[in-house]
Homo-oligomer: A and B are copies of this chain.
Amino acid sequence: MTAQIVTFARAAQADARSFPGATIAYGPGEEIYAQAEETDLIYRVTSGAVRTTRLDSDGRRQIGDFYYAGDFFGLEAGPEHRFSAEALCESQVQVFKRTTLAMADDTAGVERTIWTATARELERTREHLMMLGRKTAREKVASFLHDLADRQGGEVQTLVMGRQDMADYLGLTIETVSRMLTQLQAEGLVTFTGCRQFRIGNRQAMTRLVAA
């Protein structure tokens, strides 16, 4: 977020255009690409976490998705990004140039990887869609925690994002998210130890609540 970090990142990104595959470091809140920026690069999270965000003219905000180590992002059909991407915490991001990849030795392999990533992304987006369209606030928040636990594995879960990001992902307000978290905890479905750490208390009840 400091001027130095931003300057460093800009310089590194410029390099990435000539040397695809370069890894760039971003600090919390730092922008990786902007809405309406050209889409000639493809990204992969090496460490940390990234969110994609869309801001409309009224300032309403929607988060497209969160990406963790190993995930590709920045895949788009059109010539311009419809969402921007920002790091959630200290993160390392690998950058590939599309046109360079097209000249790779194993073109077929590269293309298959990109297609698979795109299709997986589509699938996740459809799940997200289902959630936004037809779930209650309570179900949305429960799904969010459940999915996170699924992805991360292990017992104790850590939230890399704040309440506002959760709200903008779920199509809710920050207050509603907070209330639902309190409610779920009161019912023993989850236990929070600090506002960014939790454990699933009742996995069965949780899964039932989330069930498609």
Contacts and interface: CB of A to CB of B under 8 A. Distances in A.
B133 A82 contact: no
Given A116-B77, A134-B56, A126 B123 contact: no
A115 interface: yes
A129 B64 contact: yes
A212 B61 CA distance: 11
Contact of A133 (B116, B123, B132, B211): B132
Which of A60, A82, A118, A122 neighbours the largest number of chain B CB atoms within 10 Å of its CB?
A122
A160 to B, nearest CB: 20
B64 A123 contact: no
Contacts of A119: 75-77, 118
A119 to B, nearest CB: 3
A212 B57 contact: yes
Interface in A37-63: 54, 56-57, 60-62
A132 B121 CA distance: 18
A110 to B, nearest CB: 12
Given A132-B171, A134-B61, A126 B126 contact: no
A130 interface: yes
9 contacts: A54-B126, A54-B212, A62-B129, A77-B119, A77-B123, A118-B119, A122-B122, A125-B125, A125-B129
